[in-house]
Chains A and B, each alone.
Chain A
Amino acid sequence: MASRMEIFSPEGLRIDGRRWNEVRHFRCAINTHPVSSDGSAIIEQGNTKVICNVIGPVEPTLRSRVVPDRVSISVKVVVAPFSTIDRRKRSQNDSRIQEMCSSIQHVFEDAVIAHLFPRSQIDVNLYVVAQDGGVLQACINATTLALIDAGVPMYDYVCACTAGMLDREVLLDLNRIEESDMPFLTMATIGSKRKVALLQLEMKVQFDRLEPMMAASMSGCHHIRDLMDNEVRKHGKSRLERGSL
């Protein structure tokens, strides 16, 4: 396969026709499931699609979930069996999915102004409908939007983006084929500054290559932040016009 397809052509184009610093087509919508949940959002990044439902803040269902001074957040990720080419049912106990849940949970425990809701819980349910690389970043972005829709106060937008390194070229926002071919990192930033909430690198990379990768993913995060901010403002405006606040 690799012989026919060029991950990065000499002309500077990637397999899907993007340049190195371009993110995939980004579409998002909020308040998509107004009845079933307090906040909801759909994110599409290229062919990766994630739906997020947020329920809460509500009274905890279990005594063990009561934290006296802050809200407790729990995250569940459901990966649909039809989301990839091989239809395989993944159990909830898959260690990769569990790891993803715990990292998303930790990101938002520090992004939400937690002390405003003591003794309450927020449930975040994520459904991965289609995966084409960057599932973790799409999940984080979807959660941010759904929490905003639910009216949960946060310090700022949490935005995530991946960046990979092919030989000496940095590539931003990888799709599935690119992801399987090169080391890449997922970074989540909070706000429009240089604050990194989450950073994950799973493959071996030279230390000197780390900095350009981090710089690229950071700019990707900021770009996605602007895109999400536009959507939120657009949605707010349309609700104001309808007078349904």
Chain B
Amino acid sequence: MPRDLTPSTIENTFVLKALTERIRLDSRSFNQLRDLDISFSSTEYGVVDVKLGRTRVIARISAEITQPYTDRPYDGLFIISTEISPMAAPTFEAGRKSEDELVISRIIEKSIRRSGALDTESLCIISGEKCWAVRADVHFLDHDGGLMDAACIAVSAGLLHFRRPDITIEGVGSRREVIVHPITERVPVPLAVLHVPVCVTFSFFDVRKASSAISGRTRKDEAKDVDEDDVEEEEEEEEDDSSVAVLVDATLQEELLRHGYMSVTANTNREICQIQKGGDMPVDVGVLLSCSEAAIMVAEKVTKLINKRLKEDEARRNVGNLLVEARAENDR
């Protein structure tokens, strides 16, 4: 079994020391996202390549016609598959789910599927008989922290970009037939996306280095105080809040060293779709609330970028304005 990555002690102290001086190793400010690059496949609908710094995720949306579940005859199917292969990082094993992978897949599931980003009722074709099954396959190509943030952006953008083939239903009663028109024949239809969830992960660092924020002082702390001095004293007297450094969009190194994290999924309607603060470092409620608010700001920024890229992609595809003229809903 490949071992988990463990940063050295010297790396740990260096990063923490830098954080106390409000410096991140990649010279970003605490609330700054890495460079986000979203690009769509030029040939296919629903294939998105998201690069968040050096993290790279590809999502592919596909749809096929199947039978709905018997207990939900009016709902289509929506499946998100997030399997992390060793391609992303050597710590991930093929076939076996690690704890990180479980957390990532659950958060993406909650962020997008349970928050109702895709209206599954619109996927119904004939109730109880036929419906669309939309599938999102997420491939993690490179891991430099923030896998779930990148994956969430990729799936959200993919759903917006995807077009399913147009269909018509012919006949009545039990002799109804569904005709699927190939993309070459009719302009494909976009999915009913109700909102665009964006997941943002905040990393907490206890800059006082205590193993737990409530304990005040632990053995490690005291040992440190012996060789360090006044800088520490001032920190101690400040308010509790200041002992927590909150970082947005951590790199892999910061992720491995952080004392706690919270991932918040928000959208531009000022809704919070999901919050997951793991049990690690206890943090004041106020900090958590301000993180949630910050998540909304990030969501707005990211959604703006997604829409911009979508528009660019549409302009590239829509040569001679044919896509608009050939739409099914136009007058004939």
Contacts and interface: CB of A to CB of B under 8 A. Distances in A.
Interface in B241-298: 260, 262, 266, 270-286, 288-289, 292-293, 296
A80 interface: no
Nearest to A190: B282
Interface in A83-125: 95-96, 98-99, 102-111, 113-115
Contact of B286 (A108, A111, A194): A194
Top 9 A-B residue pairs of the complex, sorted by shortest distance between their CB atoms: A107-B279, A106-B279, A195-B282, A201-B275, A199-B277, A197-B282, A207-B270, A198-B279, A204-B115
A86 B135 CA distance: 29
Given A207-B293, A211-B289, A195 B213 contact: yes
Which applies to chain B's interface (DSSP): helix, strand, loop or mixed? mixed
A204 B293 CA distance: 15
Contact of B214 (A98, A105, A195, A203): A195
Interface string B102-124: 11011000100011100000000
A196 B103 CA distance: 19
Contacts of A185: 275
Contacts of A156: 214
A191 interface: yes
Interface of A: 95-96, 98-99, 102-111, 113-115, 155-156, 185, 188-191, 193-208, 210-211, 214-215, 218
B42 to A, nearest CB: 34
Q: For chain B, give the interface size range.
A: 35 or more
Given A105-B279, A194-B286, A211-B289, A99 B271 contact: no
Contacts of A206: 270-272
Contacts of B70: none
B103 A99 contact: yes
A96 B105 CA distance: 11
Contact of B277 (A95, A105, A155, A196): A196
Interface in B170-218: 211-215, 218
B202 to A, nearest CB: 12
Contacts of A191: 214
Given A104-B279, A193-B214, A207-B270, A98 B102 contact: yes
Contacts of A190: 214, 282
B35 interface: no
B288 A113 contact: no
B272 A210 contact: yes
A211 to B, nearest CB: 6
Which among A95, A110, A188, A189 has the highest number of chain B CB atoms within 10 Å? Answer: A110
B227 interface: no
Contacts of B103: 99, 102
Contacts of A200: 275-277
A214 B264 CA distance: 15
A104 B260 CA distance: 14
Contacts of B219: 115
